[in-house]
């Protein structure tokens, strides 16, 4: 039996049943988690705490979960804190009566704003004791900060932070030693980290999900005076994973789970229009032969890989809209016959970017199509030549508040999958069946809506020809997908082996481009002295919540792009690298300025190599000796990826996979990567 399965003593005597969860209690759990890197122990701390919340204050379960995953609301609600290091420093200074200069100096020395907040606090005599913080109060305070808008928003954000920081740690006695136990259970530290977007506890959303399942099932057993068995715990975990993948919204799941029990979740929490799913993703390949090896003896299908922006379109016809209207946040009446929303790859609401799509949507729908969730790519369209335009054209479209009459770059929607139709999720059906349903439910309209071009041939030669055709049609290459059987179901949020991508460009390279986060910049030389001329890039390690440097890049930028980047990046310069940057400490390897981790760039490379200067993949076994990271040789800038957040950048593990695959090919001298051509 684990600790979780047995009864536990109440560790927080001040926390009475029904009373708001003390924020200090959550911070104590955070600080216990912070002291270990063992997944099982982290899960245990997390679920023990959640079980307490369920027992004492189930009303606070949702804000507790949200504060644990460093979110205020589901992604599609579009609520962002929008706070950089300088605002946080200002608020720390003003709430503790220290000058900004002193705070900056501390930050330079300590390098961790959370610890700077503790240090600032402990020098401040307490005149009166503010009311202790509660989990729901902190969540509300942060929500207020995120949602202030209009004139003087920045100032009011600072005021909001000050309010939280002034009340933080009001109950703690004595000074906190910032060098001991990583600063301990300080409330100020965790508020600051939340504001920075990184709690740095190794508490990924997956871990919290598992902990929620454990806590729920054990709590339900507690109530019956029983003990949850290991099998029941496993079933609860599997249930929550499935439900969350189809309906990734704690706002919807938590109340249903707390009211009806975890094992009944599937009855009410199903994929539904209005709640975007995390899209299914593909694995890169370098050769058609690799695709044939993977799908040996199984039928697959090839589709053009369009180079535009991923879009998930949710629609409910007017006669069905009542039950969904609240759920469709960007719902617009412009879809004359119903309500619709468009979501991006990372679940942001794109409805204000594509009013032209929403206005025409109803003309693509056949009679009898009442509701759907469609997976597709929006691509810039040349109206005169009637063909696909390069991705760069799409990027010139405004992102918000677009008016249909002002649209200059027309888009065509290429649909490749259907996830929900007429009140029912279809993700578990085979791709062949989903495709049939898709074709039955919609009709193409030239230049506005089309089905992704596909080909079901299984022979190498046919695929080669199809790949060439796709490139001629201005596509990036092919997507090759499992067609039949349960493996061909739609797997939300997964980078799956059942979807492979072949990009023409990369057939002789490493198989794919990388999406990397800009951490630093170097001033240009010669002609480029007034702008940044080179940049330090990193991949993301979700296990350690850190950015690992992977290369410097100075190629692929036009003068105009460099000027724009200089303007954009100057605004996010920070005093020194964040504590969650993993970079070389050598003096000669420091960029001229460090930056907040905000922008993701797509980068191509000739190949990958080991280098003592970079840190990518060291923790994921890049180098058997353990001191060299992976780096990119001859990296080249392709484009800014607005549709990816920094923690959606290429992961360290992916970089290691790419490196190992490349190594295996060179070593084995096996089929050369471009044998097909």
DSSP letter assigned to residue 349: B
Angstrom distance (rounded) from CA 428 to CA 188: 46
Q: Does residue 305 have an active-site annotation?
A: yes
Rank residues 382 and 643 by Cβ distance to ligand ATP and give the closer one: 643
Rank residues 196 and 512 by Cβ distance to ligand ATP and give the closer one: 512
Rank residues 4 and 658 by Cβ distance to ligand ATP and give the closer one: 658
Window 490 to 549, contacts with ligand ATP (CB under 6 A): 501
Enumerate residues 6+ apart whose C-beta is below 8 A from 324: 272, 273, 274, 316, 339, 371
Per-residue three-class SS string for 88-142: HHHHHHHHHCCCHHHHHHHHHHHCCHHHHHHHHHHCCCCCCCCCCCEHHHHHHHH
DSSP 188-208: HHHHHHHHHT---SS--HHHH
- Within 10 A of 94 (CB to CB), how many other CB atoms are there? 18
Rank residues 249 and 470 by Cβ distance to ligand ATP and give the closer one: 470
Contact 313, 351 (CB under 8 A): no
**Minimum CB distance to ligand ATP, residue 641 (Å):** 8
Closest residue by Cα to residue 206 from 367, 83, 59, 43: 43
Q: Is 580 in the site for ligand ATP (CB under 6 A)?
A: no
Contact 264, 237 (CB under 8 A): no
**Minimum CB distance to ligand ATP, residue 479 (Å):** 4
- Within 10 A of 39 (CB to CB), how many other CB atoms are there? 14
Exactly one of 305, 337, 604, 645 is catalytic; name it. Answer: 305
Window 408 to 447, contacts with ligand ATP (CB under 6 A): 416
User: Bridge partners of 537?
Assistant: 518, 551
**Minimum CB distance to ligand ATP, residue 156 (Å):** 36
Which residue is associated with the tokens 């009898």?
368
Angstrom distance (rounded) from CA 297 to CA 281: 23
**Minimum CB distance to ligand ATP, residue 492 (Å):** 13
Contact 121, 188 (CB under 8 A): yes
Residues in contact with ligand ATP, counted by CB under 6 A, come to a total of: 13
Which residue is associated with the tokens 């954009």?
568
Residue 635 C-alpha from the chain's centroid: 24
**Minimum CB distance to ligand ATP, residue 375 (Å):** 7
Q: Is 348 in the site for ligand ATP (CB under 6 A)?
A: no
**Minimum CB distance to ligand ATP, residue 97 (Å):** 47
Binding mask 251-290 for ligand ATP (x = CB under 6 A): ----------------------------x-xx--------
Binding mask 448-467 for ligand ATP (x = CB under 6 A): ----x---------------
Rank residues 187 and 377 by Cβ distance to ligand ATP and give the closer one: 377
Angstrom distance (rounded) from CA 514 to CA 534: 17
Token pair in block for residue 436 = 């049939």
Rank residues 205 and 643 by Cβ distance to ligand ATP and give the closer one: 643
**Minimum CB distance to ligand ATP, residue 495 (Å):** 6
Q: Is 377 in the site for ligand ATP (CB under 6 A)?
A: yes
Closest residue by Cα to residue 454 from 436, 479, 428: 479
Angstrom distance (rounded) from CA 128 to CA 120: 17
Rank residues 96 and 347 by Cβ distance to ligand ATP and give the closer one: 347
Angstrom distance (rounded) from CA 591 to CA 488: 46
Rank residues 306 and 364 by Cβ distance to ligand ATP and give the closer one: 306
Q: What angle, rounded to 10 degrees, do the helices at 85-96 and 113-122 form? A: 10
Rank residues 305 and 370 by Cβ distance to ligand ATP and give the closer one: 305
Window 290 to 329, contacts with ligand ATP (CB under 6 A): 303, 305-306, 310
Window 326 to 345, contacts with ligand ATP (CB under 6 A): 345
**Minimum CB distance to ligand ATP, residue 452 (Å):** 4
Angstrom distance (rounded) from CA 621 to CA 610: 12
**Minimum CB distance to ligand ATP, residue 658 (Å):** 12
Window 461 to 500, contacts with ligand ATP (CB under 6 A): 479
Q: Is 82 left (phi over 0), alpha (psi -120 to 50) or beta?
A: left
Which residue is associated with the tokens 């927080």?
12
DSSP letter assigned to residue 651: B
- Within 10 A of 470 (CB to CB), how many other CB atoms are there? 23
Q: Is 653 in the site for ligand ATP (CB under 6 A)?
A: no
**Minimum CB distance to ligand ATP, residue 455 (Å):** 11
Rank residues 417 and 548 by Cβ distance to ligand ATP and give the closer one: 417
Binding residues (CB under 6 A) for ligand ATP: these are 279, 281-282, 303, 305-306, 310, 345, 377, 416, 452, 479, 501
Q: So which residues are the catalytic ones?
A: 305
């Amino acid at each position: 039996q684990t600790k979780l399965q047995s009864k536990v003593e109440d560790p927080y005597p001040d926390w009475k049943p029904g009373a708001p969860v003390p924020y200090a209690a959550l911070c104590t759990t955070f600080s216990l988690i912070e002291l270990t890197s063992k997944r099982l122990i982290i899960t245990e701390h997390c679920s023990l705490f959640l079980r307490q919340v369920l027992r004492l204050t189930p009303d606070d379960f949702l804000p507790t979960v949200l504060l644990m995953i460093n979110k205020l609301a589901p992604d599609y609600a579009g609520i962002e804190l929008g706070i950089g290091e300088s605002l946080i420093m200002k608020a720390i200074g003003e709430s503790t009566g220290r000058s900004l200069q002193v705070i900056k100096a501390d930050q330079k020395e300590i390098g961790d704003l959370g610890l700077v907040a503790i240090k600032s606090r402990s020098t401040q005599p307490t005149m009166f004791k503010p009311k202790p913080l509660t989990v729901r109060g902190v969540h509300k305070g942060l929500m207020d900060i995120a949602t202030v808008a209009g004139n003087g928003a920045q100032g009011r954000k600072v005021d909001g932070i000050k309010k939280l920081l002034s009340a933080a740690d009001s109950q703690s006695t004595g000074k906190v030693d910032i060098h001991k136990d990583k600063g301990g259970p300080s409330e100020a530290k965790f508020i600051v980290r939340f504001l920075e977007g990184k709690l740095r506890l190794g508490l990924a959303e997956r871990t919290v999900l598992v902990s929620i399942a454990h806590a729920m099932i054990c709590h339900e057993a507690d109530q019956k005076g029983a003990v949850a068995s290991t099998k029941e715990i496993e079933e609860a975990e599997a249930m929550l994973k499935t439900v969350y993948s189809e309906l990734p919204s704690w706002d919807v799941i938590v109340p249903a789970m707390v009211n009806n029990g975890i094992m009944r979740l599937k009855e009410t929490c199903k994929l539904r229009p209005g709640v975007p799913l995390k899209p299914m993703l593909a694995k890169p390949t370098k050769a058609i032969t690799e695709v044939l090896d993977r799908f040996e003896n199984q039928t697959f299908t090839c589709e053009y890989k369009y180079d535009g922006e991923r879009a998930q379109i949710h629609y409910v016809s007017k006669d069905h809209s009542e039950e969904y209207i609240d759920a469709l946040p960007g719902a617009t009446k412009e879809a004359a016959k119903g309500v619709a929303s468009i979501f991006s790859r990372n679940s942001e609401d794109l409805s204000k970017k594509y009013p032209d799509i929403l206005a025409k949507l109803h003309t693509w729908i056949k009679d009898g199509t009442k509701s759907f969730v469609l997976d597709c790519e929006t691509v810039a369209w040349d109206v005169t030549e009637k063909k696909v335009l390069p991705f760069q054209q799409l990027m010139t479209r405004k992102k918000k508040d677009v008016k249909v009459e002002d649209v200059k770059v027309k888009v065509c929607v290429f649909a490749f999958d259907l996830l929900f139709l007429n009140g029912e999720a279809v993700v578990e059906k085979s791709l062949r069946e989903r495709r049939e349903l898709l074709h039955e439910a919609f009709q193409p309209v030239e230049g506005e809506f089309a089905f992704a071009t596909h080909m079901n041939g299984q022979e190498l030669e046919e695929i080669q020809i199809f790949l060439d055709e796709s490139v001629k049609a201005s596509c990036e290459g092919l997507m090759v997908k499992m067609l039949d059987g349960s493996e061909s179901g739609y797997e939300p949020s997964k980078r799956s082996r059942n979807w492979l991508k072949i990009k023409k460009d990369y057939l002789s390279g490493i198989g794919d481009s990388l999406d990397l986060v800009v951490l630093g910049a170097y001033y240009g030389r010669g002609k480029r002295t007034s702008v940044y001329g080179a940049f330090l890039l990193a991949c993301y390690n979700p296990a350690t919540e850190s950015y690992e440097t992977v290369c410097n890049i100075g190629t692929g930028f036009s003068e105009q792009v460099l000027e724009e980047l200089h303007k954009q990046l100057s605004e996010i310069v920070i005093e020194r690298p964040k504590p969650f940057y993993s970079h070389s400490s050598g003096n000669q390897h420091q960029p001229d300025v460090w930056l907040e981790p905000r922008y993701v760039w797509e980068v191509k490379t000739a190949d990958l190599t080991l280098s003592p200067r970079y840190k990518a993949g060291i923790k994921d076994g890049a180098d058997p000796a353990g001191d060299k990271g992976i780096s990119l040789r001859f990296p080249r800038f392709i484009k800014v990826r607005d549709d990816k957040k920094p923690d959606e950048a290429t992961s360290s593990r992916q970089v290691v996979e790419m490196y190992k695959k490349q190594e295996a090919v060179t070593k084995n001298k096996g089929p050369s990567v471009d044998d097909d051509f």
